[in-house]
Amino acid sequence: MFDIGIGEIAVIAVIGLLVFGPERLPRAAADAAKWLRQIRGMATGARQELADSAGLDLTDAVDSVKELRDLHPRKLAASLLEDPDDEDSPRPGKATGSTSGSASASPSADRPAFDPDAT
């Protein structure tokens, strides 16, 4: 939800320690967490009330967003590059029992390595 790293959390903790002091900081953090849960609950309730009053079914929208995740370029490239028949049958040019010593016997000669970070 929030893009906060370790550095930002450390800065917030130091500022909280300076503002509240070591005695009141745990209680202030607990109160902040309680308020955050209440705000999330109110937002969820408001969203549900709006969807109910408008007669919308939000599960279809959530499902369509999940389907859009399948269109990520990395997933598309992986699905295009994988060959489901490749696992059942031996690769053409792959040595199947003879030790001919040819270059096609190595896995790198059959198919180039797939690098998911290169896509």
| Residue 104 CB contacts under 8 Å (≥ 6 apart), including other chains | 93, 94, 95, 110
**Selection from 32, 62, 63 nearest residue 47 by Cα:** 62
Q: What is the pLDDT of residues 37-53, one digit of tens each?
A: 999 999 999 988 888 88
Residue with tokens 């896509």: 119
N-term to C-term CA, the chain? 26
Rounded mean pLDDT, 62-90: 73
pTM for this entry: 0.40
